[in-house]
Amino acid sequence: MTDLSQPGLPGALPDKRQVAASFSRAAASYDSVAALQRAVGLNLLERLPGGMTASSWLDLGSGTGYFSRALAERYPLSSGIALDLAEGMLQHARALGGARQHVAGDAERLPLRDGCVDLVFSSLAVQWCSQFSSVLSEAARVLRPGGVLAFSSLCVGTLEELRASWQAVDGGVHVNRFRLFEDYQRLTAASDLEVLALQRQAHVLHYAQVRDLTHELKALGAHNLNPGRPTGLTGRARMHGLLQAYEHYREPQGLPATYQVVYGVLRKPDPSGH
């Protein structure tokens, strides 16, 4: 079982303050490099139950607020909350509009009252949460009966080419850890929400050079922050080793970087049957 929760252990996720600081620093560059994040969020919007209306919604891990603005357009009379751990992201989002409220908070401990929203939408944020079971129970708590949680996340297999290439060079942890897809299956099935759909889909991006990928991860704020990551300068010989190892994956379109994306749509049961 991976709930990725023990700080300092190899399976652990980074400290939340580091995650917040990294995304705050990335707020200005994020939108220019977020092509995959756009595509995934749009796919998630398409997966919302047909005919669904939402008078209130929560964009969980809202980042620069791109999908808060999409939700405000989709549900014109609604009132939305954009919530993020990173103050820098919230400042950026506030200036661009979309949500009525911008709230600093943690998906694992929402500073919101019970039953206050019809929809929790969360794209590519909860892979940063060590306790996905807490995210699910908090979403269930803040949803009204009959309300929907739609999330996308990343699972094991993401950035596998980069991980394996570093592994061949020095055996170190250079890529963020991800939960197994089976853990998403198990944790959603054990939640208080009804699973309407849960799927995994691979998205493959291509880069001319490894550096293009690593620079992009940094501009997104999503570079490796794991405990146990190597610190200090990346030596020239090790970098050369990495480039050589990654070349084994080269395809006609360039160097592939695979993202294994999880899409989930869940509903809070409504005892009144509506």
Based on CB atoms, which residue is closest to ligand SAM, 18 or 209? Answer: 18
162 is a site residue for ligand SAM (CB under 6 A): no
149 is a site residue for ligand SAM (CB under 6 A): no
Q: 52 φ, ψ to 5°?
A: -70, 140
Q: What is the DSSP letter of 33?
A: G
Based on CB atoms, which residue is closest to ligand SAM, 23 or 242? Answer: 23
**Torsion of Cα atoms, 32 then 30 then 239 then 261, to 10°:** -100
98 is a site residue for ligand SAM (CB under 6 A): no
- Cα(63)–Cα(201) distance, rounded to whole angstroms? 22
Based on CB atoms, which residue is closest to ligand SAM, 33 or 168? Answer: 33
Q: At what angle do helices 16-30 and 210-220 cross, to 10 degrees?
A: 110
Tokens of 216: 């992009």
Based on CB atoms, which residue is closest to ligand SAM, 62 or 176? Answer: 62
Site for ligand SAM in 196-225 (CB under 6 A): 222
**Torsion of Cα atoms, 122 then 127 then 129 then 130, to 10°:** 150
Which of 106, 138, 183, 216: binder of ligand SAM (CB under 6 A)? 106
DSSP structure string for 63-108: TTSHHHHHHHHHSTT-EEEEEES-HHHHHHHHHH---SEEEE-BTT
Site for ligand SAM in 24-63 (CB under 6 A): 34, 37, 41, 61-63
CB of 234 to ligand SAM, least distance (A): 23
Interface map 114-133 toward ligand SAM (x if CB under 6 A): ---------xxx--xx----
Q: Please answer whether residues 258 and 160 qualify as being in contact, where contact means their C-beta atoms are separated by less than 8 angstroms.
A: yes
Which of 70, 107, 140, 175: binder of ligand SAM (CB under 6 A)? 107
134 is a site residue for ligand SAM (CB under 6 A): no
Nearest to 227 by CA among 4, 1, 15: 15
86 is a site residue for ligand SAM (CB under 6 A): yes
Q: Which residues bind ligand SAM (CB under 6 A)?
A: 19-20, 23, 34, 37, 41, 61-63, 66-67, 84-86, 89, 106-108, 123-125, 128-129, 222
